[in-house]
Amino acid sequence: MKELSFEYLLNKIIESISMISIIDGIESFQLSDSFLLKLDNGDVIQILNDNNKVRFLKIESKSEIVLLSDYEIEGQPNIVMDEIVVNLKRIKIFQNYTSKGSNYFFGTKILDEEENFILGFFYGFDEIEYTLDIVDFENALLHYKEDYVVNVIR
């Protein structure tokens, strides 16, 4: 496993995003603090919100997926990924959103070379939500009443 930065994803194409679930016997736990991105070059990147620190981890196998929560699991967990194909566009721009005054990092908008929306993330204290819809992303921004700063990475 290798830790990466936003810049690593520039010029890459996201093929799919996956939610991660852990199955132990008859119980299933869906992780709310993590997603997997599959890139067109075969890389699998885990996006992890670890106490409001967003991390990008390149993983080689399911056994490298970082599990933050305390699950009472006997033996090796069975990890299931629900894959959703996204619009296959090259990442050119990240817009990271931070609340003014508190420096609370709460969101990321990912855009292509024409500045069209590809994917958006919102971060809570220890969770991540994503959207493939620009309207959903912009509606969520309304909760911050434009009291935020946008940091652009190209």
Based on the fold, state whether residues 77 and 100 are members of the same structural domain: no
Give the pLDDT confidence score for residue 104 in this predicted structure. 85
Give the pLDDT confidence score for residue 76 in this predicted structure. 57
The count of structural domains within the chain is 2
End position of a domain, from candidates 85, 102, 134: 85
Per-residue buried b or exposed e for 71-105, using 16+ beta carbons within 10 Å of the residue's own CB: eeeeeebeeebeeeebeebebbbbebbbeeeeeeb
- Domain assignment of residue 114, given as a range: 93-153
Give the pLDDT confidence score for residue 72 in this predicted structure. 56
Residue 55 near residue 45 (C-beta atoms within 8 A): no
* Residue 21 buriedness (CB in 10 A; 0-12 / 13-18 / 19+): middle
Based on the fold, state whether residues 14 and 81 are members of the same structural domain: yes
Based on the fold, state whether residues 8 and 79 are members of the same structural domain: yes
Give the pLDDT confidence score for residue 82 in this predicted structure. 76
Based on the fold, state whether residues 6 and 74 are members of the same structural domain: yes
Based on the fold, state whether residues 81 and 147 are members of the same structural domain: no
Give the pLDDT confidence score for residue 31 in this predicted structure. 82
Give the pLDDT confidence score for residue 108 in this predicted structure. 94
Distance from the first to the final alpha carbon of the chain: 25
Based on the fold, state whether residues 6 and 51 are members of the same structural domain: yes
Which ranges of the chain have pLDDT less than 70?
A: 69-78
End position of a domain, from candidates 85, 103, 122: 85
Give the pLDDT confidence score for residue 75 in this predicted structure. 54
Give the pLDDT confidence score for residue 22 in this predicted structure. 80
Q: What string of H, E and C letters represents the secondary structure of the chain?
A: CEEECHHHHCCCEEEEEEEEEEEECCEEEEEEEEEEEEECCCCEEEEEEECCEEEEEEECCHHHCCCCCCCCCCCCCEEEEEEEECCCCECCEEEEEEECCCCCEEEEEEECCCCCEEEEEEECCCCEEEECCHHHHHHHHHHHCCCEEEEEEC
Rounded-to-integer distance, Cα 118 and Cα 109, Å: 8
Residue 89 near residue 11 (C-beta atoms within 8 A): no
End position of a domain, from candidates 28, 54, 85: 85
